[in-house]
Amino acid sequence: MTSDIRTLAKKVSGGDRRALARAITLIESTRSDHREQAVELLECLPPGGSATVRLGITGIPGAGKSTFIEAFGLYLTGLGHRVAVLAIDPSSPRSGGSILGDKTRMEELSRHPDSFIRPSPSGGTLGGVARRTREALQVCEAAGFDVVIVETVGVGQSETAVFEMVDMFLLLLVPGGGDDLQGIKKGVVELADLLLINKTDGDLVAAALRAERDYASALHLLVPLHPGWTPPVIKVSALEGRGMDEVWAAVEAYRAALGPEALATKRASQSVSWMWRAIEGELMDRFKAHPAIAPRLSEQETLVAQGKSSPTLAAGELIKLFFAQGPS
Amino acid sequence: MTSDIRTLAKKVSGGDRRALARAITLIESTRSDHREQAVELLECLPPGGSATVRLGITGIPGAGKSTFIEAFGLYLTGLGHRVAVLAIDPSSPRSGGSILGDKTRMEELSRHPDSFIRPSPSGGTLGGVARRTREALQVCEAAGFDVVIVETVGVGQSETAVFEMVDMFLLLLVPGGGDDLQGIKKGVVELADLLLINKTDGDLVAAALRAERDYASALHLLVPLHPGWTPPVIKVSALEGRGMDEVWAAVEAYRAALGPEALATKRASQSVSWMWRAIEGELMDRFKAHPAIAPRLSEQETLVAQGKSSPTLAAGELIKLFFAQGPS
């Protein structure tokens, strides 16, 4: 345990924002020495107590996630909560940029003393990004943020990653999605503990009512994720800041319905899947760096590229080599 | 090489539909003996020639993907093409079911003698599902299907998986998404070689025109994926079967613009990333089955679940054990 890491940990626990930012930067670094320091840091930070609230939120692009988080976050700081917002967004394979990286989309909240907003780590696989976000979540809780909101985009695999690191999963919907209930239902809606129909304002009010009915009836077709909790559907207007009190009331009702034991059980099984994500990431890093593999990689890649070997075959060759040589 | 696998390969190459279905079932099996047979099978099937057309298609739920694929597929069979439709859809963590598994959503096409529709393999990680779908694609081409359409859902990681196995990536949009251009642009739109505004019918025609303008102008902000090809935006109505000829014309124009060399180069680099996906899947399988790990797994999982060890720490322990013991 190096002393500067211990110092950093102390500062983080003391709520030092600069230290928090530095800690997360350390966690997000791909340098192996940074990784070791990050593991040390996580070791000497207290595990998040169940007193904290971990919320995941997703919705298709255009659902108004950022607007909602800004409005909801400001409402919570008004109640005296300290709110951290993290994002999971596997970066674009082309730009390497982060969709959710644009802080200006939550301008007021990002300037608030009781809030901390961190864009998605850019680069890397979903697994890697999720792993670093999950560790950042632990650090935020250690820094005294009692509500952590993890935002993600899309209807893809990233929902599962977020679902696996939060107590409660919120799905932000927009009016008009009703016609596709069938398509959404099995995917993401069934992960949701709470459905929000956003943009319940202007000329979408009628459509919002329809959507509310459609989703509410669809939810009854699902086996509840937790006995004693049927995901409610709440109409909100992030733009006008309406419904935030109802949303928070639903969050508290959910925690009461589950009770501390069920919540603890949920976090326990989540930790196990996080362990698996960490193993996968580490295995691939070791594989690529293995002395018996590294020099052969480009050769095999060339054979595959030239069609002289198939991806399945080449993968088999390298795997054989990896295990034949034993540990590095 | 077992003789029945050779026989199966012959039947597949002969266009035997039942053999094709059996081959894909073999590929999708998680049993290790089946996996070996699947690898054998892939070895003795010809690699797909560049004469085939590999199309990926995505869009948010409600965009009308299935309706479009049915209309487009029937149009192509009308031109004398043989069309295979595969799906990538990491199954829901809860139901284990496949969102795209519902064949009845493409009723007419699924009954057509010159088409073959295969739902997404259920279960497993995105990596596993994508890997099996990619192998199924090779088998379909070997069976004489000259157009393979790989469908996926969402705005998540699965797009990347599909993007990495097709020649051309189609994004199906609906009118009204224009307000979120910023949000979509960096993620999925930039992967698209062709944008389709679906539901250009009824009272959405005006909105479709707006969306077409918005996306067309947004696309000019992007560095083209291929020099000499700016993704066009085409308005279609899958419901009324309008615009299918334009879509196919765009596909042919795209292939002409790239030329055979660029297409070959693209498929080459795709094969390399498939190799990586295969390695990752195999590594995790071996890890879980490793004699030094398997007996310790539940113990470590319990420590993590009880909060007596952190996911990061436990992962480190197991990784150390895995490499200390050497090959199994």
Over its C-alpha atoms, chain A yields an Rg (Å, rounded) of 22
How confident is the model at residue B71, as a pLDDT? Answer: 96
How confident is the model at residue A178, as a pLDDT? Answer: 46
Structure tokens given for A327 = 């540990």
Q: Return the top range by mean pLDDT from A186-190, B134-138, B182-186.
A: B134-138
Ordered per-residue pLDDT tens for chain A, 328 residues: 678 999 999 999 998 999 999 999 999 887 888 988 998 898 888 766 668 999 999 887 778 888 999 999 999 999 999 999 998 876 534 333 344 444 457 888 989 999 999 887 766 667 677 888 999 999 999 999 999 999 987 545 678 788 889 999 999 888 865 444 433 434 466 688 999 999 888 888 888 888 788 777 666 655 566 778 888 999 999 999 999 999 999 999 999 999 998 899 899 989 998 898 889 888 988 898 889 898 899 899 999 998 888 888 899 889 988 888 654 4
Average pLDDT over residues B125-134: 79
Q: How far, rounded to the nearest angstrom, does the alpha carbon of residue A129 sit from its chain's CA centroid?
A: 9
Distances (CA, A) of A27 to A31, A47, A49: 10, 16, 20
Q: Percent of chain B, pLDDT > 70?
A: 82
Let me know: does A66 contact A59? Beta carbons within 8 Å. no
Strands B147-152 and B168-173: what pairing? unpaired
Find chain B residues with C-beta within 8 A of A182's C-beta: 102
Structure tokens given for B54 = 């590999």
- Is pTM beyond 0.90? Reply is no
Q: How confident is the model at residue B326 (pLDDT cuts 50, 70, 90)?
A: low
Please give the residue that has the higher pLDDT: either B155 or A250: A250
Find chain B residues with C-beta within 8 A of A319's C-beta: 279, 282-283, 286
Place of tokens 């995941």: A56
Range with lowest mean pLDDT among A198-202, B186-190, B240-244, B308-312: B186-190
Q: Do the Cβ atoms of B315 and A97 come within 8 Å? A: no
Average pLDDT over residues B225-237: 87
Secondary structure (H, E, C), chain B: CCHHHHHHHHHHHCCCHHHHHHHHHHHHCCCHHHHHHHHHHHHCCCCCCCCCEEEEEECCCCCCHHHHHHHHHHHHHHCCCCEEEEEECCCCCCCCCCHHHCHHHHHHHHHCCCEEEECCCCCCCHHHHHHHHHHHHHHHHHCCCCEEEEEECCCCCHHHHHHCCCCEEEEEECCCHHHHHHHHHCCCHHHCCEEEECCCCHHHHHHHHHHHHHHHHHHCCCCCCECCECCCEEECECCCCECHHHHHHHHHHHHHHHHHHHHHHHHHHHHHHHHHHHHHHHHHHHHHHCCCCHHHHHHHHHHHHCCCCCHHHHHHHHHHHHHHHCCC
Is residue B20 scored above 80 in pLDDT?
yes
Let me know: does A104 contact A111? Beta carbons within 8 Å. no
How confident is the model at residue A86, as a pLDDT? Answer: 93
Q: Do the Cβ atoms of A310 and B43 come within 8 Å? A: yes
How confident is the model at residue B307, as a pLDDT? Answer: 83
Mean pLDDT of the residues in chain B: 83
Distance from CA of B322 to the nearest CA of A (A): 8
Strand partners, B84: B116, B148
Of A155, A282, A325, the CB nearest to B155: A155
Specify whether the backbone of B80 is left (phi greater than 0), alpha (psi in -120 to 50) or beta.
left
Question: Could you say which DSSP state residue A100 is in?
Answer: G
How confident is the model at residue B96, as a pLDDT? Answer: 36
Of A153, A284, A314, the CB nearest to B275: A314
Over its C-alpha atoms, chain B yields an Rg (Å, rounded) of 22
How confident is the model at residue B154, as a pLDDT? Answer: 57
Distance from CA of A115 to the nearest CA of B (A): 23
Residue of A267, A273, A312, A317 to mutate for B, most B C-beta atoms under 10 A: A312
3-state secondary structure of A144: coil
Is residue B240 scored above 80 in pLDDT?
yes
How confident is the model at residue A60, as a pLDDT? Answer: 74
Residue of A276, A286, A303 to mutate for B, most B C-beta atoms under 10 A: A276
Determine how many CB atoms are found less than 10 A away from the CB of residue B24: 24
Average pLDDT over residues B275-295: 87
Find chain B residues with C-beta within 8 A of A179's C-beta: 62
How confident is the model at residue A49, as a pLDDT? Answer: 64
How far is residue B311's CA from residue A135's CA, in Å, rounded to a whole number? Answer: 10
Instruction: Give the E-state strand segments of chain A in sequence order.
Output: 53-58, 83-88, 115-118, 147-152, 168-173, 194-197, 233-235
How confident is the model at residue B210, as a pLDDT? Answer: 82
- Number of CB pairs < 8 Å for A and B? 229
Of A190, A274, A315, the CB nearest to B94: A190
Of A92, A176, A272, the CB nearest to B186: A92
Average pLDDT over residues B245-264: 94
Q: What is the pLDDT of residues B43-80, one digit of tens each?
A: 888 766 668 999 999 887 778 888 999 999 999 999 99
How far is residue A204's CA from residue A214's CA, in Å, rounded to a whole number? Answer: 15
Please give the backbone phi and psi of residue A186, each rounded to the nearest 5 degrees, phi first: -70, -20
